[in-house]
Structure formats: structure tokens, C-alpha cells
Amino acid sequence: MSSVFISYSYADILARNIVEGLKKSTIENLAILTTYQGIGGNNPETQLFDAIRKCDYFVCIFDNYSPNVMLELGYALGRNKNIILVGDYNEIPFDLRNFDYIKRNENISDVLMELNKRIYSSEILPKEVICYKDYKENILHALNEQEFLDGLSYRDFEELIYEYLKAQNLPVNYQPLTRDRGYHFLLPTMNCIIEIKKYSKNNKISLSVIRALLGTMVENNMSKGIIISSSGFTQSAINFVQNLKQKIVLLSLDDLLKIDGNFVSFIMREYENQPF
């Protein structure tokens, strides 16, 4: 018998209706489990993780404000499960957009139809595999080939850096396009934000960019910041960060490649071995 684990927030009425609708529309040889049904007893957390580990499909009705949804999704990712996301595209973090995705829709019949298509498909599609070598080569192209760099939009350049960092297993989050918070990436376990800047080679990062990031750090209660730039930094910018109470690290693409594979240990040294 195949099994599906559905992760959702109980406060989400539409999600509850989708779950009930899926139960009614499925055939007998499919077991459906959720946090709220089929999990209990003396060790509910153990049973929860066991159910996710054994399921054939993990359906996540996405809600990044729900602790249980994010916990369950994180565990499913760690177990390399077949994940189907249901949600609004702009709310789904960039690093999750390679997974199977169904648009959240008030017309539950449309959502159920798409879910059943995927669950009963005879072919399980492989997930996208991050190829570290390819992302590193793209950084090299951007560093050494001006035409390649010029052909990248600002968003393309951000994604190039993001994929390179992600491929090194860094716990990095890409901020949604719909929310301008003054930075591009977040390292939540390090209390650190990262700003990405794509400039021409002769246009170095100035003091104004550093001050803007410093303001964002204060506003978001972040103790650490990183600026990664396609160009270098002015001497005044370099001198300024050396005398700050807050910790800001400046990295060019050349610097990024020099610390290739050792990003965290390098940053820790730059932050004077302060614990993250």
C-alpha cells in the first residue's frame, strides 16, 4: 500500500478542506497521514518522523509561518522524500522551487486533480541534483569573462551566487522577490545577512553600500553581514568595515573562489572566531 503524508497548518481552512477532499477522492490502496490524524500515543514526535520516513509522497501545503509545517518539511528534505508543494509561488523559497509544485487555488477540485495526477503517476520523477562543479565554473566565467557577466541580469547574478553557496551545503535562505528587506540571502543559524552586488569591473563598491547594509543589520537585529560583489571595493569602504563594532565581510568573486569549499571556516576566522 502506498502512503502520503500531508503537512499543513490546522489554522489554514483551505488546507483542511484539501486534506478532506483528497481522502474522499483517493482509492483504497492509499494511506493518508497528517500531524493531526493518525499520529498520537506516548511518543507522537517519534511517530511523526517515522510516518514521514516511511511515506511514498510528502505533500506540503506550504506555510512558512507554521512551525510544524517547516519542521516536517525540513525532515522530509533530509530524508530525500518525493515532495509535492502546494502554495503561492512567490511565497515558496527559491531553494524549494525545483520541487514539484501545485498552485494554491480556492477551487479545491483543481488542486485535488493535480495532486491525484502526481500521486498516481507510474513514474516518480527524479529531483534536480545540485552540481557543484557547474556552479563553480559559472563563478569562474563571471570573474574572467566580461561578456558572460554583462549578459547576466541582477537576478541571474544573485541566483548564480546562491546556487554556488547552496551547493556547499550552507544553510542559506533566498529572500522572496515580494519582500524587499535590504538584503538578498539569510544565514539564520549564523545571525548573518548577505547582500549581492553586480557592478561593472571598474565600478567598485563604495562606502554608501556598506552604510546601507549596516542600517539593515541594525534594523533586523543581525550581528554579522557579508557583501559579495562582482567587482572590488574602494579603500574607504575597506577601512570603514575594519573599525566597525558590527562584523561585515567584503568578498569579491576572486575572494569567493579562494575560500572555495571552506566558506564557513573562513567567515568564522574573519569574525574573530565568534560562535555563530
Domain boundaries of the chain, sorted by first residue: 2-119, 132-270
Query: Scanning the structure block, which residue is given the C-alpha cell 563571471?
Result: 142
SS3 (DSSP) at 11: coil
**Residue 160, class by beta-carbon neighbours within 10 Å (0-12 exposed, 13-18 middle, 19+ buried)?**
buried
- CATH code of domain 132-270: 3.40.1350.10
CB 225 within 8 A of CB 200: no
Q: Do domains 2-119 and 132-270 have the same CATH topology?
A: no
Please state whether 182 falls in left (phi above 0), alpha (psi between -120 and 50) or beta.
left
CB 216 within 8 A of CB 181: yes
Cα–Cα separations (whole angstroms), residue 172 to 146, 163, 164, 168: 27, 10, 11, 10
Among 165-169, 223-227, 232-236, the range scoring the smallest mean pLDDT is 165-169
Closest C-alpha to 152, from 139, 171, 165? 139
User: What pLDDT was estimated at residue 195?
Assistant: 94
Strand 185-187 with 192-197, pairing: antiparallel
User: What pLDDT was estimated at residue 125?
Assistant: 44
Given CATH 3.40.50.450, say whether it is the number of domain 2-119: yes
Query: Scanning the structure block, which residue is given the C-alpha cell 523559497?
Result: 93
pLDDT digits (tens, 9 = 90+) for 230-255: 988 999 999 988 888 788 999 999 99
Distance in angstroms (rounded) separating the CA atoms of residues 33 and 55: 9
CB 183 within 8 A of CB 224: no
User: Over 50: is that where the pLDDT of 222 sits?
Assistant: yes
User: Over 80: is that where the pLDDT of 113 sits?
Assistant: yes
CB 71: neighbour CB atoms within 10 A? 15
Distance in angstroms (rounded) separating the CA atoms of residues 127 and 136: 21
User: What pLDDT was estimated at residue 147?
Assistant: 87
Residue 200's pLDDT band (cuts 50, 70, 90): confident
CB 84 within 8 A of CB 57: yes
**Residue 17 cell numbers, joined:** 478542506
What size, in residues, is the chain? 276
Please state whether 195 falls in left (phi above 0), alpha (psi between -120 and 50) or beta.
beta
Closest C-alpha to 25, from 124, 85, 110? 110
Q: What percent of the chain has pLDDT over 90?
A: 16
User: What pLDDT was estimated at residue 40?
Assistant: 60
pTM, to two decimals: 0.53
Strand 100-103 with 83-87, pairing: parallel
